[in-house]
Structure 1
Amino acid sequence: MRKPGDLPKKVCATCGRPFAWRRKWRLAWDEVRHCSQRCRENRNRPSKHENTG
């Protein structure tokens, strides 16, 4: 069993926040781009979390 700190991580394409591997993504980890369903649904809208400068 891996420790939580050892899990692979990615950055969400919508909000820019880091997120870690989840068991439900084990078969499709390469295709996962968003940290949540909410980010996936709002991918075309600008995020409040992004740094705009």
Structure 2
Amino acid sequence: MNNSTTSSSSSSIAALDIIPDPENNQVIIFRQNNIQHVVDIDEDELNIELGLDFN
């Protein structure tokens, strides 16, 4: 009989803060384990609406 062991690893994010930085066209993403990722974005891709739209 051939016994084999398969192992896999995966990671998950427990807490996530996303902070927009439109002056630098970036979004800063903070994870719970204190690793910081900065994602560059184009101004055309940034579509944020605040408030309610009743139209």
Length-normalised TM-score, structure 1: 0.27
RCO (CA 8 Å, sep 6+): is it higher in 1 or 2? Answer: 1
TM-score (norm 2): 0.27
Q: Which has the larger radius of gyration?
A: 2
In terms of fraction of residues, the more helix-rich structure is: 1
More strand by share: 2
